[in-house]
Amino acid sequence: MKFMKLGSKPDTVQSKGDNVRYVATELETELIVTIGNIKFYLHKFPLLSKSGYLQKLIATSRNEEKKNQVDEVDISEIPGGSVAFEVCVKFCYGITVTLNAYNVFAARCAAEFLEMNETFEKSNLAYKIDVFLNSTIFRSWKDSIIVFSTTRDLSPNYTNEFTLKRCLDSIAYTASIDTSKVEWSYTYNRKKKLDEKAVPRDWWVEDLCELHIDLYKQAIEAIETRGKVPVEVIGEALHAYARRRIGGFSKGSVRVIDKSLTESIIELLPEKKGSVSSSFLSKLLRASVFLGCEETVKERLKKRISEQLEETAVSDILMFDIDMVQSLVNEFMDRDPKSHPKASVAKLVDGYLAEKSRDPNLLLQNFLSLVETVSSFPRQSHDGLYRAIDMFLKEHPGIDKSEKKRVCGLMDCRKLSAEACEHAVQNERLPMRVIVQVLFFEQIRVNGSSTGYSTPELTTTTLNTEDDEWDHVKEY
């Protein structure tokens, strides 16, 4: 960490209890400065020669009756409080004081408040701090972040806006620089397959995770404004921040947190499709539901997920109830049908239902509704749908014949693999009519393979025999 020392005299600022500070000297105190519950017993000349504010404040408060008395002023509103004021006091007395990334911004704001500037005296504290910031602090990646993090402790009314902007500009510029020019240290703990010599394009995202969400938002917006960082990296940065800041986020089980934090992250999401992974969007939606975020927030996320539903994994949506998944599929259907990668979504739904059907409380109507929504989607194989149906029948043994027939009617037996057929013909949960269909089409496929002819285009209605006709058949 970079630092700067000012002054050369030994430290004579001492404390008396918790609420009193004084400069040890033989001269009598002439000035008492109150900041909150702390009083500073000081001398006028060192302070008034460098602080235009204190000089004017004492001049306006003095009258003839108090001419020979100790002046007392209250400046509790000074940015940085008593700690920052003590830095200014030491500078005025020529006492050695060390400035670093942790205290320099508060000291700069306090110097501004006290009017310790070039207008009042040359080489005053504000000037010296500006030189230190511009020549050293803002040229250091991590020091710039530390300085920026300290700005949240100060009242916005007394924050030096110019210095704050310079700090943000430094962070945004450094994050946007070509990775071939990155020669400083940074934090990178994520497990990725990277070239050991190459600097990853998202090298900066973990260091910014230390910032409070209010500051983080400003930093990300400043980086986006420069327009040098790809939106995919911005998306990765937000994902890293969510993992760090939202308890249980990476495991999909969000604990109680500040709702505004989640909403702020969602607000920062880049609009470009694919800039944020479906997994990240799904976890944000889960968090927004858990925290009771505004409906507009949840609807925005649902729309984003539906736009790239074909890229979504079963594990991403398994955290949702079936009504939410139905809503996502419906949103997907509302897009231009020509652009639908329907086969991937059908496979996603099959996988989801195969897992969700383990829940004995899953309603038949909900199961049917979701499968029927994607029934027109092309599937090269119905193995996934078969697994979902088999699991539903296993966990819902109480459904009647007509319901079982309706469930199994969703499956095209011609699109089952040899392995699925082998399992189906031995599956006692399936209606006998379905087992016969499986045997029939499997026999046709085997015969077709051996003769070189393709399987005839038969429909499942070919053997749409009523189950009652097969009641006397016990096994095949």
In a domain, 39, yes or no: yes
Question: Are 85 and 33 a contacting pair, CB within 8 Å?
Answer: yes
Measured CA to CA in angstroms, residue 373 lies from 84, 353, 403, 410, 435 at distances of 65, 13, 18, 11, 25
In a domain, 17, yes or no: yes
* pLDDT on residue 258: 72
- Parallel, antiparallel, or unpaired: how do β-strands 71-74 and 31-35 relate? parallel
Helix (H, G, I), strand (E, B) or coil at 248: coil
- pLDDT tens for each residue of 196-249: 678 999 999 999 999 999 999 999 999 999 999 999 999 999 999 999 988 767
Distance CA 402, CA 475 (A): 20
Is the pLDDT at 321 greater than 90? The verdict is: yes
* pLDDT on residue 466: 45
Is the pLDDT at 469 greater than 90? The verdict is: no
Is the pLDDT at 164 greater than 60? The verdict is: yes
pLDDT category, 130, cuts 50, 70, 90? very high
Is the pLDDT at 476 greater than 80? The verdict is: no
Could you list the residue range(s) of the whole structural domain that residue 83 is in? 3-137
Is the pLDDT at 283 greater than 60? The verdict is: yes
In a domain, 311, yes or no: no
- DSSP of 117-182, one letter per residue? STTTSTT-HHHHHHHHHHHTGGG-HHHHHHHHHHGGGS-GGG--HHHHHHHHHHHHHHHHS-GGG-
Is the pLDDT at 93 greater than 50? The verdict is: yes
In a domain, 27, yes or no: yes
Closest CA to 211 of 186, 181, 241: 241
Residue type, 434: V
* pLDDT on residue 340: 60
Per DSSP (E only), the strands in 208-247 are none
Is the pLDDT at 17 greater than 80? The verdict is: yes
Domain limit, last residue, from 137, 154, 169: 137
pLDDT category, 458, cuts 50, 70, 90? very low
Residue type, 326: Q
Within 10 angstroms of residue 153's Cβ, the number of other Cβ atoms is 13
pLDDT category, 167, cuts 50, 70, 90? very high
* pLDDT on residue 77: 95
Domain limit, last residue, from 137, 169, 185: 137
In a domain, 405, yes or no: yes
**Lowest-confidence region among 32-41, 308-317, 332-341, 352-361:** 332-341
pLDDT category, 68, cuts 50, 70, 90? low
Is the pLDDT at 301 greater than 80? The verdict is: yes
In a domain, 434, yes or no: yes
In a domain, 122, yes or no: yes
Is the pLDDT at 470 greater than 50? The verdict is: no
**Lowest-confidence region among 3-17, 150-164, 171-185:** 150-164
Number of domains in the chain: 2
Is the pLDDT at 354 greater than 90? The verdict is: yes
- pLDDT tens for each residue of 424-443: 999 999 999 999 999 998 88
At 132, which CATH number? 3.30.710.10
Stretch 243-270: mean pLDDT: 80
- pLDDT tens for each residue of 391-412: 999 999 999 999 999 999 999 9
Question: Are 113 and 81 a contacting pair, CB within 8 Å?
Answer: no
Domain limit, last residue, from 137, 169, 198: 137
* Burial degree of 136 (CB within 10 A; 0-12, 13-18, 19+): middle
Question: Are 151 and 167 a contacting pair, CB within 8 Å?
Answer: yes
Average pLDDT, the chain: 89
Question: Are 263 and 227 a contacting pair, CB within 8 Å?
Answer: no
- pLDDT tens for each residue of 96-123: 999 999 999 999 999 999 999 998 899 9
* Structure tokens belonging to residue 77: 């509103």
In a domain, 215, yes or no: no
Is the pLDDT at 147 greater than 90? The verdict is: yes
pLDDT category, 335, cuts 50, 70, 90? confident
